Amino acid sequence: MRILAFESSCDENSAAVLQDGKLLSVCTRTQTVHKPYGGVVPELAGRSHLELIDGLANEALHEADIRLSDLDFIAATIGPGLIGSLLVGANYARGLAISLNKPFRGIHHLEAHLWSAELSHGNLPLPFLVLLASGGHTMLISVEGVRRYRVLGSTLDDALGEAYDKIGKLMGLSFPAGADVDRLASQGDGHRFTFPLAMQDDTFNFSFSGLKTSVVYKLRDLPPEIVRSSKNDILASFQEAAIESVIRKVRLAAQRTAPQVLVAAGGVAANSLLRKRIYDLAESMGIPCAFPALSHCGDNAAMIGYLAWKLNRCGIADSAWSHQARPRWPVETLTEGTQAQ
């Protein structure tokens, strides 16, 4: 089965071609138009998707050496995300499917993140525990099968990636700031400044607003020359507190759910310290760990096509809601009425 897939839920525009679950090509562009505004501007995102999507589709097909007539299936993200961006990708893909007389399937992009590590590692043993961390979400989810997901906890305020972007902005970094914070923090002393570890309770929920506020107060209280000379140390100390609070929740969830594998997915799964701490935790608990390839951590069409193929292979039928863009779409609703393993 040859699938052409699209992802356009936020500020990444991506097209990919897969054959029988194997990735043949993926072309992704992260929009740069948002940098002056310090965050994603929905109207600009939708317009950029319109400008990019046709070219990326052709590029992905060319790299895979696949013609439109060779395709068996078209898939696209339909939620959750920015409604304008979702509509561009979904309508383009749906129109292409109609013109080719091929099936179309709408995909939940958070569900795709849950399975994204399988693109690199093959089938993961069940159940596995996923830390899904991105600019919009921080969740712990027990994956017990296809369409069998148990959400253990989520963030009560900022997502982890959002906290990185906000702290990066305070420190004069451009948007998105996550990669730059990680790079500069690796050159600093993460124990020079003390920031609080939030939500140290027996739940699996996260909170990063207090940590962000603590950094704001620290920047306010320190002399400007100390802030400038200690930039890497401040960022390293922020990152140390953020990642340590996350790892404590992952450890607690792993102790209670006994997963076969620990997985980190989503854009923040590309963070070097998070990957190291997840690896160390898994090793200490005698559990394997798995990460998506760095290029598959952020929103990308490779994981969209892979999930479309996996759902089809498992015999999970398409349904009416999979043709409607949905800006809000809880992962928990995917499990309802589904018994597939």
The whole-chain average pLDDT of the chain stands at 94
Which residue ranges form the domains of the chain, and what is each CATH number? 2-114+296-335 (3.30.420.40), 126-291 (3.30.420.40)
User: Which of 25-39, 135-149, 244-258, 322-336 has the weakest average pLDDT?
Assistant: 322-336
Q: Which two tokens stand for residue 100?
A: 């080719």
The separation between the first and the last C-alpha atoms of the chain, rounded to the nearest angstrom, is 21
pLDDT at 317: 79
Contacts by residues 93-100 (CB-CB < 8 Å, ≥ 24 positions apart): 93/4, 93/5, 93/6, 94/323, 96/4, 96/57, 96/68, 100/68, 100/69, 100/71, 100/74
Q: Is the pLDDT of residue 338 over 80?
A: no
Render pLDDT for 69-97 as a digit per residue (tens, 0 to 9): 999 999 999 999 999 999 999 999 999 99
Q: Is the pLDDT of residue 320 over 70?
A: no
Render pLDDT for 132-159 as a digit per residue (tens, 0 to 9): 999 889 999 999 999 999 999 999 999 9
Render pLDDT for 168-212 as a digit per residue (tens, 0 to 9): 999 999 999 999 999 999 999 999 999 999 888 999 999 999 999
pLDDT at 39: 86
Nearest to 16 by CA among 56, 43, 45: 56
Report the predicted TM-score, pTM, of the whole model to 2 decimal places: 0.95
